[in-house]
Amino acid sequence: MQKHYKLAPTVGTIPPDKVVGRLTEIEELYKLTESQSVVLSEIRRMGKTLFLQKFAYVTVKENRLNKAIHFDLMQVVDVTELTDNLLDKLRSKENYGWLKVQLERCRLLYNKFKPEKIDVKLPQLPELSFKLPEFKTEWKKALSACIEDLADRNHQENESLTLILDEMPYMLWQWILNGKAQDAIELLSLLRSLRQSLQDKGRIRFVICGSVGLEVVLNHLRTEFRYTAEPFNDAAKYSLEAMNDSDAVFLSECLALSGFTFTENKEEAINAICQVTENLPFYINKLFAILQNSFDSKISRNTVYQAFDELLTNVDQDSTFEQLDTRISTYYPKQADIMFKVLNYLSKKGTITSEDEIKESLEADDKAIQEVLRLLTKDQYLRRVIENETRSYRFKYKLIQQWWKLNKA
């Protein structure tokens, strides 16, 4: 049995070896990447980045046949920075040593445009940069060279290498907002081509993930720029759900080691924490932070329920949930009005409701409501159930339904 370790309540980043649990999910994602690329989705603040960082860490730490590298693309402002971002990560200490790669294509491309010649001598990767004026129009060649060099790495038979492109959808969205939609389209086309050509040769896999959601970006490109391609239509879809019970309890017990005192039965109090937060790690951390700040780090079922009430009703906690509102106006401006009507209605209902009843209860076009229900389900706000050929919907998470009812409906 794993020994508990002290964790401070935080909604920020922690080292991957300290991320609690998710071993079942790691094995599920590992199995998927053995044969294909993956698009991972879930609403914000579900721990996607921490999970993917731990996934990459575990594949290397345990010396798995198939390893993964985590790339954070949130701060990549244009195409000229993209290849350098990948190269910087490849040179980082956590990948140094096990990654047997010579950047031969990168070297040849670099030497073609730069007078100072670069040689690649293992084990040190060269300090070359493509964020230079000479490569402004050659970014596709540079990125292709980098990823094809990874495919040519010294590897075992049937060994796959997974490149986790975390926050790629957010990066693309920022490019679009800054007038670089064509670059976003060209990058998606290039990644599709590379993914298909390197599926067997080099066995390169991609995991695409982000707080925006790839589908949001693709829908915008289709609507505003007549984009018709499906760059990841044959990738597996994976949704990171809430923690299982044992992981949520373990996380709570680790957080409780940071100076918390149980004033009644510990097991019952922790069960209450996991119940109200629905085993969602972000909200477990938030609840412990409130218990620490507002209840003198005293934990009982009563303080847990009071802290949860504060989480849902205190305006100082609004930032925890407010992004669920603002992202609709930001990413779905044309459908926002109907989306808000649907969410308001379902939050008040509080129970699973048929699509027909929703249509009958709202003043909006039936087809528009149907499309909104589809989008809200794909964006993880709602869960859809089909029974006896009848589609019904409810909020995916009760705590979000409760917050929406109290603060928005």
**Is residue 2 helix, strand or coil?**
coil
Strands 38-41 vs 236-239: parallel, antiparallel or unpaired:
parallel
The distance between the two most distant Cα atoms of the chain, rounded to a whole number of Å, is 72
CATH T-level topology, domain 335-407: Arc Repressor Mutant, subunit A (1.10.10)
Q: CA 51, 56, 58, 59 torsion: positive or negative? A: positive
pLDDT (0 to 100) of residue 126: 60
Percent of the residues in the chain that have a pLDDT greater than 90, as a whole number: 69
Burial of 178 (0-12, 13-18, 19+ CB in 10 A): exposed
Distance separating alpha carbons of residues 148 and 141, to the nearest angstrom? 10
pLDDT (0 to 100) of residue 122: 44
Residue 60: pLDDT over 80: yes
Q: What angle do CA 201, 208, 64 make, to 5 degrees?
A: 55
* Mean pLDDT confidence for 320-335: 90
CB 355 within 8 A of CB 345: no
Instruction: Supply 307's token pair.
Output: 């802290």
CA-based nearest residue to 106, from 84, 136, 81: 84
pLDDT (0 to 100) of residue 94: 59
Residue 125 DSSP one-character state: P
Residue located via tokens 């345990």: 62
Distance separating alpha carbons of residues 69 and 289, to the nearest angstrom? 32
Residue 320: phi and psi, rounded to 5, are: -60, -35
Distance separating alpha carbons of residues 206 and 177, to the nearest angstrom? 25
Residue 379 DSSP one-character state: T
CATH class held by domain 22-239: alpha beta
pLDDT in tens, 109-159: 888 877 565 555 544 556 777 887 888 888 999 999 999 999 998 888 888
Element (H, E) at 25: helix 23-33
CA-based nearest residue to 162, from 21, 319, 32, 299: 32
pLDDT (0 to 100) of residue 118: 57
pLDDT (0 to 100) of residue 123: 47
Distance separating alpha carbons of residues 6 and 3, to the nearest angstrom? 10
Instruction: Supply 133's token pair.
Output: 């004026």
Distance separating alpha carbons of residues 286 and 10, to the nearest angstrom? 7
pTM of the model: 0.91
